[in-house]
């Protein structure tokens, strides 16, 4: 796989490799050197391989372990590398791979009561297959017993325009004893929908995995394809990709601050955050014709050129308004009082459970793919990576506030460096990957986003696409901040994570 050091392991060697990784990490691991994702993929010998992707460290290639399950089963690594727990359960549900010794061998994507045999994606995805008949069952949760304990199932239909999910609370008074999120009510099998699509059509699909992260998904996908094909986008396209990615970060972070203000009942902060979000989306529309910046990023560069004349002036105007807004937020005591000490995520838990993006950086894990595994033309611009140590809702908001300032600075620098030139190229700039495989990554608004792409034998179609969405990672982490908290702070805590259910339910 392009950009990766690949090792083939036997099932018997897998646990030894995991132990060696833990030994290498030591007792106080830094933000690097950890497992990123695992997924099932068909192999030339028949059946499926399970592929593990690890980050070795800043500016080092990713490492890949390929393992062929013995009789369809592998030893679970979830007890050693907890963040793999959800990836293993996902493979059990959708591909029928068994993971022996898994600490939570319960359904994840397919809810309780849904038939698991045959596994829905093991033999190919049929979007026209009739729906399966099943009788829904309650979720599998630990026994929480006591005369004063109350049980509250909330969702999947919730007020406002929130996405579908059910949250099960066990609580006494205001104190939450146990919390169980149940997602995947609208799982769309997006990864399977890439199969047999053309490389260009894949970019259109990627933009729709999570609509508010359209640029990030399309860019990670495009870079994975470019790695597999040996392409390199032209310099102008790489600079314009940086501008598009930071505009997407801007409007998302401003929406986040507006929504967070809503949960602390700061109505003026909510209104102004959403107004500034709208201003950035209007800039997006004037620049690209799309408020969500869609229809541009594609393998090989951009579909068309952009006229960035006047963008610097528009950014200067929004910069002053945004700066005043951020200062006022940090001067509002009632807002800060609700954020401080709410939803604390310890550093070690953030690392072990796979937190990413602003969530991990708010818990003192200094990692950002724009700097550590640089892509597009981020190596040509100067920026800082905000890191906080508190791990609470306030720290998470501070990280995003500083990222807004950095994004504005990155856009201004990039505008000055962007020169005329072509924006799409399919020339071979390096040797294509021998297996037709590529890994692409982006530091999206919500964190590290990875695409692994496997091409057909003739290199014109997609055989398998795996997506590591940051919300899939952060939804796994979130419950660790809810238990032992209180019901009054729950909405603030959830808002402080900035999660996307669509990203997790891909």
Q: What is the CATH number of the domain that holds 82?
A: 3.30.460.80
Both 224 and 78 in a single domain?
no
358 in Cβ contact with 400 (< 8 Å): yes
Q: Which of 209, 208, 232, 237 lies closest to 297 in space, CA to CA?
A: 237
- Cβ-proximal residues to 42 (8 Å cutoff; 6+ apart), any chain: 48, 49, 463, 464
What's the domain range around 163?
150-182
Domain assignment present for 423 = yes
Both 449 and 396 in a single domain?
yes
Domain endpoint, select from 100, 131, 162 = 100
Q: What is the pLDDT of residue 127?
A: 66
The tokens for 98 are 């068994």
Domain assignment present for 154 = yes
DSSP alpha helices (H): ranges in 207-266? 214-229, 235-263
Both 232 and 260 in a single domain?
yes
Domain assignment present for 127 = no
Q: Which of 358, 378, 424, 26 lies closest to 199 in space, CA to CA?
A: 424
pLDDT tens, per residue, the chain with 506 residues:
877 999 999 999 999 999 998 888 776 667 666 899 999 998 767 788 999 999 988 889 999 999 999 888 999 999 999 999 999 999 999 999 999 999 999 999 998 888 877 888 886 667 677 777 778 888 888 888 888 999 999 988 877 767 889 999 999 999 999 999 999 988 888 999 999 999 999 999 999 999 899 999 999 999 999 999 999 999 999 999 999 999 999 999 999 999 999 999 999 999 999 999 999 999 999 999 999 999 999 999 999 999 999 999 999 999 999 999 999 999 999 999 999 999 999 999 999 999 999 999 999 999 999 999 999 999 999 999 999 999 999 999 999 999 999 999 999 999 999 999 999 987 767 788 889 999 999 999 999 999 999 999 999 999 999 999 999 999 999 999 999 999 999 999 999 999 999 999 98
How many structural domains is the chain composed of?
3
Counting Cβ atoms within 10 Å, is residue 460 exposed (0-12), middle (13-18) or buried (19+)?
Answer: exposed
Domain assignment present for 110 = no
Coil, helix or strand at residue 488: helix
Residue 64's region, left for phi above 0, alpha for psi from -120 to 50, else beta, is beta
Cα 198 from Cα 212, distance rounded (Å): 23
Both 280 and 407 in a single domain?
yes
Both 270 and 168 in a single domain?
no
Q: 10 Å Cβ neighbour count for 123?
A: 11
Both 51 and 163 in a single domain?
no
Strands, DSSP E only, in 69-165?
Answer: 73-75, 98-100, 150-154
Domain assignment present for 454 = yes
Q: Which residues pair with 298 in a beta bridge?
A: 301
Burial letters 299-329, b for 16+ CB under 10 A, else e: bbbbeebbebeebeebbeebbeebeebbeeb
Both 370 and 422 in a single domain?
yes
Q: What is the pLDDT of residue 125?
A: 65
Q: What is the CATH number of the domain that holds 233?
A: 1.10.645.10
Q: Which of 247, 166, 231, 262 lies closest to 422 in space, CA to CA?
A: 231
Given the DSSP bridges, would you call strands 447-455 and 462-468 parallel, antiparallel or unpaired?
Answer: antiparallel
Cα 2 from Cα 432, distance rounded (Å): 8
């Amino acid at each position: 796989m392009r950009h990766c050091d690949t090792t083939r392991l036997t099932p018997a060697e897998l646990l030894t490799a995991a132990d060696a990784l833990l030994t290498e990490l030591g007792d106080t691991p830094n933000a690097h050197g950890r497992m990123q994702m695992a997924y099932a993929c068909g192999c030339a010998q028949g059946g499926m391989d399970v592929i593990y992707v690890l980050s070795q460290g800043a500016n080092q290639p990713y490492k890949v372990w390929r393992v062929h399950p013995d009789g369809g089963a592998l030893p679970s690594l979830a007890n050693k590398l907890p963040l793999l727990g959800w990836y293993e359960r996902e493979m059990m549900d959708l591909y029928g791979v068994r993971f022996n010794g898994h600490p939570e061998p319960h359904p994840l994507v397919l809810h309780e009561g849904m038939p698991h045999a045959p596994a829905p994606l093991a033999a190919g995805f049929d979007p026209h297959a009739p729906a399966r008949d099943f009788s829904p069952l309650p979720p599998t949760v630990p026994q929480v017993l006591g005369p004063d304990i109350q049980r509250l199932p909330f969702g999947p239909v919730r007020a406002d325009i929130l996405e579908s999910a059910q949250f099960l609370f066990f609580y006494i008074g205001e104190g939450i004893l146990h919390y169980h999120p149940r997602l995947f009510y609208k799982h769309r099998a997006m990864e399977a929908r890439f199969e047999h699509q053309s490389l260009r059509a894949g970019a259109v699909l990627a933009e729709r995995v999570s609509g508010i992260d359209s640029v990030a998904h399309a860019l990670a996908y495009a870079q994975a394809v470019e790695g597999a094909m040996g392409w390199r986008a032209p310099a102008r396209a790489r600079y314009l990709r940086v501008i598009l990615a930071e505009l997407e970060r801007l409007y998302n972070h401003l929406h986040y601050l507006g929504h967070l203000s809503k949960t602390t009942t700061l109505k003026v902060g909510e209104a102004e955050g959403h107004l500034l979000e709208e201003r950035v989306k209007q800039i997006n529309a004037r620049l690209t014709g799309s408020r969500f910046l869609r229809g541009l990023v594609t393998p090989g560069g951009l579909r068309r050129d952009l006229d960035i004349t006047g963008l610097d002036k528009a950014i200067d105007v929004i910069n002053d308004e945004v700066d005043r807004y951020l200062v006022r937020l940090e001067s509002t005591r009632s807002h800060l009082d609700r954020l401080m000490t709410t939803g604390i995520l310890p550093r070690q838990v953030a690392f072990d459970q796979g937190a990413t993006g602003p969530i991990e950086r708010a818990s003192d894990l200094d990692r950002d793919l724009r700097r550590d595994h640089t892509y597009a033309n981020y190596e040509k611009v100067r920026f800082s990576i905000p890191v906080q140590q508190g791990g609470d809702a306030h720290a998470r908001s501070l990280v995003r506030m500083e990222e807004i300032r950095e994004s504005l600075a990155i856009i201004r620098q990039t505008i000055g460096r962007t020169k005329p030139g072509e924006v799409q190229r399919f020339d071979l700039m390096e040797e294509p990957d021998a297996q037709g495989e590529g890994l692409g990554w982006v530091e999206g608004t919500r964190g590290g986003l990875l695409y692994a792409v496997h091409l057909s034998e003739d290199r014109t179609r997609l055989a398998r696409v795996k997506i590591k969405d940051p919300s899939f990672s952060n939804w796994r982490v979130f419950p660790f901040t809810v238990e032992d908290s209180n019901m009054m702070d729950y909405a603030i805590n959830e808002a402080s994570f900035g999660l996307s259910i669509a990203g997790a339910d891909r």
